[in-house]
Homo-oligomer: A and B are copies of this chain.
Amino acid sequence: MAGTVFFSVSMSLDGFIAPESPEALMGKQWMELQAWAFRLRYFRDSLKLGGRGEEGRDNDIVRATFERTGANVMGKRMFDAGERSWPDEPPFHSPVFVVTHETREPWERLGGTTFHFVNDGIEAAIERARAAAGEQDVRVSGGGETIVQCLNAGLIDEFTIALAPVLFGKGVRLFEGVDDSRVALKQVSSESSTPHATHLTYTVQGRRAPI
């Protein structure tokens, strides 16, 4: 019984999920985008950031997202940026399937994260992640290009956006290149317990490609 395939990202009000250059990843704008998460206990503990995070509804949402995830799928660009910046214990704590042309042995890290390198495309990566996740769900971690590729191929069942009250002006757009003729959405929930983000959940009603 395959799990749900989803993604969950923070997005600026003007539709961006990352700055233009990976070097700006920890810059001011990105910190503003993620500010809602950095204040939370579960998030701080996961990334071993120290300090005392807040509990409450947002914290529950972050915890639930991590706890439902049995495996991850990731694009090569996100992996490359992460490989340079993740700590020895990356914040996934589950298998990560990286879609790449590079042939490479699995890379095991502390805390239950092992990166597997998949050379036969996004659908194969999702299939392998499904098998690894068992009864849990598969998270498409990113980046934007990989998420849109999955959306257009009908591989995403649902997704959650933490919409932050921030304007980027430029950067990496979440939905750049989405094929609106293939992706119809249904809003499942919308909630905001703090002024730092609104959590929007949608199911994808579009045609689901056979895999």
Contact = CB atoms under 8 A, between A and B. Distances in A.
A62 to B, nearest CB: 18
Given A163-B200, A200-B163, A179 B169 contact: yes
A180 to B, nearest CB: 4
A188 interface: yes
Interface stretch (A40-48, A53-61, A190-198): A190-198
Given A13-B175, A14-B15, A163-B200, A168 B187 contact: no
Contacts of A179: 169
Contact of A187 (B175, B186, B195): B195
Contacts of A195: 186-188
A189 B197 CA distance: 10
Interface residues of A, number: 34
A149 B91 CA distance: 41
A114 interface: no
Given A13-B175, A175-B13, A175-B14, A183 B167 contact: yes
Contact of A167 (B13, B165, B180): B180
Q: Which 9 A-B pairs have the closest CB atoms?
A: A190-B192, A14-B175, A169-B180, A165-B187, A15-B15, A187-B195, A190-B198, A165-B185, A167-B180
7 contacts: A13-B161, A14-B15, A15-B175, A169-B181, A187-B195, A189-B192, A190-B192
